[in-house]
Structure 1
Amino acid sequence: MFKWLLLFAGAGLIYLWIKGKKQAGLDAMKSPRPNQNKPEKAVLPEVMVQCQYCKVHLPQLEAFSFDKRFYCSKEHLQTLDEAGWVGDAHWRISPNQDSRPENVQADLAVIHHISLPPGEFRKQVSSHHIVNFFQNKLDPAGHPYFAEIADQKVSSHFLITRTGELIQFVSTHNKAWHAGKSHFQGREKCNDFSIGIELEGDGDTPFEASQYRTLVNLIHQLTSTYPQLQFAGHSDIAPDRKTDPGISFDWKKFQKETAISLEKLPFGLDPR
């Protein structure tokens, strides 16, 4: 009797196994088959970009990007390149520039202040008016003061806005039209040998901490290329005409945070 039970159990297992295999085959026939004629999805090539500073090519996903430019490292992004442009500045090229005299390099940085319209930065963001002014795009109808200055051709190498944004208009290799009639240590026409740095503000309102931070970083970038730079205010080189950067500019803070030697600040550290 026990033998017959084993025999029936074995037969039942075999039947279930055969039935399972048959069902698996039916299921496989019902499952949708891939379209043999459908082409495989193309693998897109990796996008390559070029470092603005050193010109090396690298995958875009690995690059540091700023203002629609690419850099292979933060060091190159935060450096003055061979063409005289700072990587972490917004480039807004001004037509108001020309070449420096032959064999003349910048050895003076001039600090200014500017506000368009005057004092407007206290109430609202207005730095775009300065950008338009330096690019000869200022709308004379935009403000009564604009009608007075719209025809002037002015520029600076750099502008630092109230929020600390750095904007560059002219390569440091070229002359920006920022100093006007001026003289420094017996030399006239300071535009020929200087770099102009505008701080958004006026002579009465303290400048922002973010502006000092950006200014300090900029000075470090400039002095790595121009180690002989001396520093002055616009009022120092055009005392009969100008008062900027004004009494609110903290020359002691500037000297301390940049670690510039006192001999490169020939007009001293007192407010003026």
Structure 2
Amino acid sequence: MEEKQPHSGWWENARKVESPNCDTRPEGEVSLLVIHAISLPPGQFSGTAIEALFTNQLEGKEHPFFAEISHLRVSAHLLIRRDGECVQFVDTDQRAWHAGRSCWWDAHHGKWRTALNDFSVGIELEGDDVTPYSKAQYNALIEAFVWLMARYPQLDTSRITSHAYVAPLRKTDPGPAFDWAYFYQRLRARTER
């Protein structure tokens, strides 16, 4: 008799591209979503550079900017492309290396928390600070978050933040181009069904 595989943190709606840039969460807690933005080279969309970066295969000689970052060992759990395609690099039960030096006020526990990779899921949107995100990206982000909330009971709409908020002196993403009001309006409509 074939054994059933345990339910994992791989989302069935995402294309799987495994990153080596992850490890075990120290406590197993997942209680925060950090929204990021990335474009490689900066301001350019499509191509395979993001996947190459997150799988340690980015060639520095292909673009001057790549030479500056090809040594980095980083990842995110999910990438949402401009057309809404989702690519998953790390099982959400594992720790992806996305937040870096950062801190976040956890109102539920009444304290500042650091080491956010330990308890957060990182979702990258293919984008930058100035280019409006697509409706397909908002739709995919909402569906991903609904899946995450069903999987992790500590997650709710009050536990969503940006990379800019948790690392304000280092990061600006997802930037002013991300429409938080539209995102929350659509998320409420989706979760109140």
Q: What are the residue-to-residue correspondences of 1:145-156 with 2, within 5 Å?
A: 145-156=65-76
1:89 aligns with 2:14: yes
C-alpha distance in 2, partners of 1:228/1:257? 21
1:219 aligns with 2:145: yes
Residue in structure 1 matched with residue 25 of structure 2 by the alignment: 100
1:202 aligns with 2:131: no
C-alpha distance in 1, partners of 2:141/2:13? 12
- Which of the two has greater helix per residue? 1
Q: CA deviation at 1:239?
A: 0.9
User: How many percent identity over aligned positions?
Assistant: 47
Instruction: Report the TM-score when normalising by structure 2.
Output: 0.88
SS at match of 1:249: coil
Q: What are the residue-to-residue correspondences of 1:117-128 with 2, within 5 Å?
A: 117-121=41-45, 125-126=46-47, 128=48
Residue in structure 2 matched with residue 263 of structure 1 by the alignment: none
C-alpha distance in 2, partners of 1:202/1:88? 24
CA-to-partner distance for each residue in 1:122-147, whole Å, 9 max, x for gaps? Answer: xxx22x11001000001111111111
C-alpha distance in 1, partners of 2:175/2:153? 26
SS at match of 2:121: strand
Runs (4 or more) in structure 1 with deviation over 4 Å come to: none
1:163 aligns with 2:83: yes
Q: How many residues align?
A: 179
Q: Give 1:187's aligned amino acid.
A: R
Q: Gaps (5+ residues) in structure 1?
A: 1-49, 57-80, 261-272
1:109 aligns with 2:25: no
1:241 aligns with 2:170: yes
Q: CA deviation at 1:55?
A: 4.1
C-alpha distance in 2, partners of 1:233/1:151? 24
Q: CA deviation at 1:82?
A: 2.0
**Greater RCO (CA < 8 Å, at least 6 residues apart):** 2
- The CA RMSD measured in Å over matched residues stands at 1.7
CA-to-partner distance for each residue in 1:133-171, whole Å, 9 max, x for gaps? Answer: 000001111111111100000100000011110000001
Residue in structure 2 matched with residue 67 of structure 1 by the alignment: none
Q: Which protein has the larger Cα radius of gyration, Structure 1 or Structure 2?
A: 1
Q: Give 1:192's aligned amino acid.
A: D
SS at match of 1:120: coil
C-alpha distance in 2, partners of 1:237/1:227? 22
SS at match of 2:171: coil
